[in-house]
Structure 1
């Protein structure tokens, strides 16, 4: 019985490593594509037991959002998605509390991404 539990735990741990690596690979590919489009700011929020949020925005030469991505979730099954609502928006007009009125973690991540672009 103990051997079975240890075997299951090891299989679960190895699965987590493999699937976590796959998630990181997917995010890195999406982030690399984003970096090809312009200057990029990235912000992260979250906690230990709350879903984390990573938001990256790419700005064109006119300081308008030309692309974005968001990774939100607690598990290895989260995938990067685009935020089409902010495409074309000038940097100065981005307001995290307006874009994400009911999600403080997304607001925080977007605020951090915007701070990186002001520097």
Structure 2
């Protein structure tokens, strides 16, 4: 009985490592593509037992959003996605509480991502 429990725990741990590595690989590919498009700001919110949110925003030379990336979730099954609603907007037009009116974690992550140095 103890051997079976240990075996199940080891298999679950190995699956967690494999799926976590795959998730990181998917995020890195999406993030590298985003970095090719302009200056990128990244924000992260969430805690140990809350769903984490990572938002990255790429800006062109006119401080206009040219691409975005959002990844949110509590498990290794979270995948990077786009935020099409803010593409083409200027940095000054972005208001996290308007874009994500009912999601304080996304508001916080977007606020952190928008703290870019103008230059």
Question: How high is the TM-score relative to the length of structure 2?
Answer: 0.98
2:91 and 2:39 mapped to 1: Cα distance? 12
Aligned to 1:45: 45
Shift in Å, 1:118: 3.0
SS in 1 for 2:85: helix
2:92 aligned with 1:92: yes
Deviation readout 1:11-70 (Å, 9 max, x if unpaired): 000000000000000000000000000000000000110100000000011100000000
SS in 1 for 2:41: strand
Which consecutive aligned stretches of 4+ in structure 1 deviate over 3 angstroms post-superposition? none
Matches within 5 A, 1:63-74: 63-74=63-74
2:65 and 2:29 mapped to 1: Cα distance? 19
SS in 1 for 2:11: helix
Aligned to 2:107: 107
2:89 and 2:3 mapped to 1: Cα distance? 57
Which 5+ residue runs of structure 2 have no aligned equivalent? Answer: none
CA RMSD of aligned residues (A): 0.6
1:60 and 1:43 mapped to 2: Cα distance? 18
SS in 1 for 2:37: coil
SS in 1 for 2:80: coil
Q: By percentage of residues, which structure has more helix?
A: 1
2:74 aligned with 1:80: no
2:113 and 2:57 mapped to 1: Cα distance? 7
Question: How high is the TM-score relative to the length of structure 1?
Answer: 0.98
